[in-house]
Structure 1
């Protein structure tokens, strides 16, 4: 086994950081004007939104056809590990929980949570694009009824607020000392063989 094991390919790392940049631009252009920072934010907001849609579509196609989609599935083994971890932390069992595969249950859950929240934000944001002028169309304020617009605004605003909380939690855990190997792997792409054996079950994540 080589000393360095590829955890994230270059395409996935670039996609992650492009997505992160789009989300931060969207949040900044959405909330900074509310805090009193006045600047022409509308164009930057919808351009970042389009870029995020493109990134999500690329990730979806890549995950379906070129990656192991099953590695992100939550199954009985993950739930069993959660129960074992709870029993160990509560000192109800002396047996340490088994190591996960490539992704832990917590990593799978945050991925799926981001998927749902970002999807809601993108769909509602795309619909709201009808109300602004772009190089491709002129605004149409009456494409939907007022009540429907109200629902869209609420869903879009709620997803934005959830994204702030989730990004803060994501950054916090990414900077914890015991999680820095995963952060490094998202920058450089690799973990060491020692880290692989310490944090992953080789039977559940079989590396080439």
Structure 2
């Protein structure tokens, strides 16, 4: 069977950023929960090969590794997009209203409003994940600074910083859950392949993103 025509949706840079963020956030969530300590309490550390998960030093090092990856990838993403002017994922006026229309159309089978490369809800989801990630980075840096020798920060600052870091953690988990749940809707499923291969079906792009003029896949 002949392969259906494909168009380029994600560059290699896009995919490296996506999977770098995914890996780092997974490490941060897993190691952060391990420092509570939850894995010893709920017998996760008793599973074969998981004894290390109850060691505070190990989970702390994993947390720092995840944070370093996340900060590096985020800095690269921001600088690269500013330099190249690739700002298509930034939210626009009317995105909330258009998102409601698109979701309603997916649930009822009605035609969606015409979109460019990114749907309105994709731009809003990007803003949510990016804002929450920035919150985690900033509050995480404060947590690191307070542990430096000779550094003493006000108790009120540390209290609010911890609260915001925990809130950010909860929000990022909800955001990831919503991101994955979006692919339960049939119209979104063709996009799963694209984050691995960088390409998407040309007919899908023409039908769902009529305002986008994508380059053909090489």
Q: TM-score, normalised by structure 1?
A: 0.83
Q: Which runs of 5+ in 1 are unaligned?
A: 133-137
Match of 2:98 in 1: 81
Matches within 5 A, 1:116-135: 116-132=131-147
The CA distance in 2 between the partners of 1:95 and 1:172, in whole Å, is: 21
Q: Which runs of 5+ in 2 are unaligned?
A: 41-53
Match of 2:39 in 1: 36
Q: Secondary structure, in 3 states, of the residue corresponding to 1:126?
A: helix
Match of 1:58 in 2: 76
Equivalent residues, number: 196
The answer to whether the 8 A contact 2:29-2:169 is kept is yes
1:193 shift after superposition: 1.2
The CA distance in 2 between the partners of 1:124 and 1:160, in whole Å, is: 11
Matches within 5 A, 1:96-107: 96-107=111-122
The answer to whether the 8 A contact 1:27-1:160 is kept is yes
The answer to whether the 8 A contact 2:31-2:60 is kept is yes
The CA distance in 2 between the partners of 1:131 and 1:149, in whole Å, is: 8
Q: Secondary structure, in 3 states, of the residue corresponding to 2:69?
A: helix
What CA deviation, in whole Å up to 9, does each residue of 1:77-109 have, x standing for no partner?
x45634655786898xx9733231111111111
Q: 1:86 to 1:184 in 2, by over 3 A?
A: closer
Residue 15 in structure 1 maps to residue 17 in structure 2: yes
Matches within 5 A, 1:1-208: 3-33=5-35, 34-37=37-40, 38-39=54-55, 40-76=58-94, 78=95, 81-82=98-99, 84-85=101-102, 96-132=111-147, 138-140=148-150, 142=152, 144-174=153-183, 176-201=185-210, 204-208=211-215
The answer to whether the 8 A contact 1:72-1:103 is kept is no
Q: Secondary structure, in 3 states, of the residue corresponding to 1:198?
A: helix
